[in-house]
A and B are shown apart, each in its own frame.
Chain A
Amino acid sequence: MPEAERTWLVAMWLIVSYILILVLTISICSLTLLTLKERRRIQSHTHLLPIQPPNRLLLPEEQGVLLRHVTTYRSSGTSETCTICYEELEATQRVVRLPLCLHVFHYKCIREWLAIKAVCPCCKGDVLCAFGLETH
């Protein structure tokens, strides 16, 4: 490669670098703005939700109650998604529809989730209260 061509290549790549940095800056800014907007939207709804119980572990008797609410998923016409794994719910899958709020999740996903937090992942409603279990 001749010397002049090498210099041109570096110059061109420098210009491309600046353009790419500009594009990257714009995408980072838009991503941050979107995240902030989403967080503000969630925060504006938080005061309407019931008080959240602290982090806890799912007790064996509570797992039994959860098991009693396991059903086979039946589509209501429109497609529904499990908001824990973002997978679309399919017929014959084992799901749990939470009482009161009626949000539906895969049994495996909600069992894992409830072992961390006893609230609905969608509306933050108290799941133990909905299951008729006493909260301490």
Chain B
Amino acid sequence: MRVKLTCEDCVLSMVFCYLIAVLLATWQEFRYVAPSCPQPIQVWLLGDYFTFLVCRWMLVLLQSTFTLFHRRTLACVSLFTFLVLYPFLVVWTAIGTLWFVQIVKASVLECVRRT
């Protein structure tokens, strides 16, 4: 098996690692965007960054050259990507959207109450 790792993939991985590091560094102040709506949006962000990073690595693996003896590995990687990772990403993004809408609604209500 020969993995084709391009320069863009390395840059992308580094960017995602940087984003994860920044998120972890600002974890405490990031805690709740709207105090009345305690949705852990930072957990969602961390999960989303990580899932996208793993997704890209899986696609890099799938685009690699597989010899005739590595067909089982190829099947495992494709099944994991298409049946586990991809549906999880879609569901996770939907959850994130829901939390975000709840947070925005709570923030607006807080603003109205203050004024």
Instruction: Flag if A28 contacts B26 (CB, 8 Å).
Output: no
The smallest beta-carbon distance between B96 and chain A, in angstroms, is 6
The dominant DSSP class at the A interface is helix
Q: Check if A86 sits within 8 Å of B2, measured CB to CB.
A: yes
**Inter-chain contact A121/B68, CB cutoff 8 Å:** yes
Determine which of B29, B67, B82, B93 lies in contact with A21 in the assembled complex, contact meaning CB atoms within 8 Å.
Answer: B93
Per-position binary interface string of chain A over residues 14-35, scored 1 when its CB falls under 8 Å from any chain B CB and 0 otherwise: 1001101100100110010000
Q: Is the CB of B67 within 8 A of A28?
A: no
Interface size band for A: 20 to 34
Cβ A85 vs Cβ B93 within 8 A = no
Known A13-B45, A17-B96, A21-B89; contact A31-B62, beta-carbon cutoff 8 A: yes
The answer to whether A28 touches B93, judged by C-beta atoms less than 8 angstroms apart, is no
A84 lies within 8 A of B67 (CB): yes
Sample (10) of A-B pairs whose CB atoms are under 8 Å apart? A1-B26, A7-B107, A10-B33, A10-B96, A13-B45, A17-B93, A20-B52, A28-B86, A31-B62, A113-B68
Which residues in B have some Cβ–Cβ distance to A below 8 Å?
2, 26, 29-30, 33-34, 41, 45, 48, 52, 55, 59, 62, 65, 67-69, 81-82, 86, 89-90, 93, 96-97, 100, 103-104, 107
Q: Which residues of A contact B (CB under 8 A)?
A: 1, 3, 6-7, 10-11, 13-14, 17-18, 20-21, 24, 27-28, 31, 83-86, 112-113, 121
Closest 7 CB pairs of A and B: A17-B93, A86-B65, A85-B67, A6-B33, A84-B68, A7-B33, A10-B100
